[in-house]
Amino acid sequence: MGDSMHKRHIKVKLHACLAVLLALVFSAKAAVGQQAPALSKDEAFTIVLLPDTQFYSEKYPETFVAQTMWIRERARPDNIKFVVCLGDIVQNAHIEQEWLNAHEAARILDGVVPYSAVPGNHDLVVKDKVITRDSTLYNTYFGVPRFVNEPWFRGHLGETNDNNYCTFEAAGRDFLVLSLEFAPRDEALAWAADICQQHPSHNVIVATHSYLNLQGRTTSQAKVTGSSANSGEQMWQKLIRRQPNVFMVACGHVGGVNLQRSVNDSGRPVIEILTDYQNLEQGGQGWLRTMRFVPAESKIYVDAYSPLLKQHNADPKQTHAIDLDFAGLQSKP
């Protein structure tokens, strides 16, 4: 490692450590409650989509820290209820330093905002140029032990945290974030269907790494050794369309953004949204996607913001409103 590279590496480390130290200093204050207490059915609230942080974990950990620090700071003003991870947390699943960088950034949210984790293809070990289901380091840093004591973490499939679900309450309604592994196996889809059916009064957001591309749902999927691997279209046919309480699917994986609305077998709309900025400079320029739910207006206001650039994205593909009939969502029993 050259002298300049070594100095930059130390600087990045110090930056990340300082951010974590600040987070810990204020953790007691944050734990008291960063979110607005309102529980009325007209309560406006926000969820944040955290897409493909792989290059931040590999090369730009200060950007990952900036993202989570911004979420922490905006938790109360924006009434952020949940942060949805879209996978590809790291670039190289076998390099532990990348997982350490991701861990340091993510822990800034601890005690402030509930957040999920889900593995993308880069979070799985590649052997002989083939993706495997080996998620050892993902589960070391984002496994069940990290979340098991959180009241919003509700369960997982098998012994790993590759498939899991969390819940939160907002606007007098119950929500469930169902996170599914990359190219989910048939048994993962069957488990997910059971979770949806066990929680009929919850409004379900399915989060998975690969589901949409820039044209629509994916119709093929990268092979994963020793298991089935369902494409976006197969997930729609086998799971999404059959569950009346799934109202949104969020994904990353493919560089760019996309949005489509479909109708499930119960005649209810399903919002399908792709968010991935990894192809931009500096691994994505720190862009986040925020979704502001405003029941009184029957709208979701989608925005893109970069804490690194300190600016919003005015592109209508990035920032727009989605109609949502909140009266059609499941209500608390």
pLDDT (tens digit, 9 = 90+) per residue, 241-275?
Answer: 999 999 999 999 999 999 999 999 999 999 999 99
On the question of pLDDT at 190 being above 90, the answer is yes
Report, in angstroms and rounded to the nearest whole number, the Rg of the chain calculated over CA atoms: 19
Residue-range domain boundaries for the chain: 3-328
pLDDT (tens digit, 9 = 90+) per residue, 117-165?
Answer: 999 999 999 999 999 999 999 999 999 999 999 999 999 999 999 999 9
On the question of pLDDT at 23 being above 70, the answer is no
Please tell me the number of Cα atoms within 13 Å of 63 on its side-chain side. 25
Q: Which two tokens stand for residue 284?
A: 């994505």
Q: DSSP secondary-structure letter at 220?
A: -
Mean pLDDT of 179-193: 97
Amino acid at 189: L
Pick the closest to residue 276 from 309, 311, 322, 318 (CA basis).
318
Determine which helix (DSSP H) or strand (DSSP E) holds 48, and give its type and residue range. Answer: strand 45-50
Sign of the dihedral through C-alpha 70, 73, 78, 84:
positive
d(CA 185, CA 174): 27
Pick the closest to residue 187 from 125, 144, 238 (CA basis).
238
pLDDT at 75: 98
pLDDT at 40: 81
d(CA 51, CA 164): 18
Terminal-residue alpha carbon distance, the chain? 60
On the question of pLDDT at 14 being above 90, the answer is no
pTM comes to 0.89
The CA-atom distances, in angstroms, between 277 and each of 248, 273, 286, 293 are 20, 13, 8, 23
CATH code: domain 3-328 is: 3.60.21.10
Pick the closest to residue 288 from 114, 72, 8 (CA basis).
72
Label residue 225 exposed, middle or buried (CB < 10 Å: 0-12, 13-18, 19+): middle
Pick the closest to residue 56 from 68, 46, 74, 70 (CA basis).
68
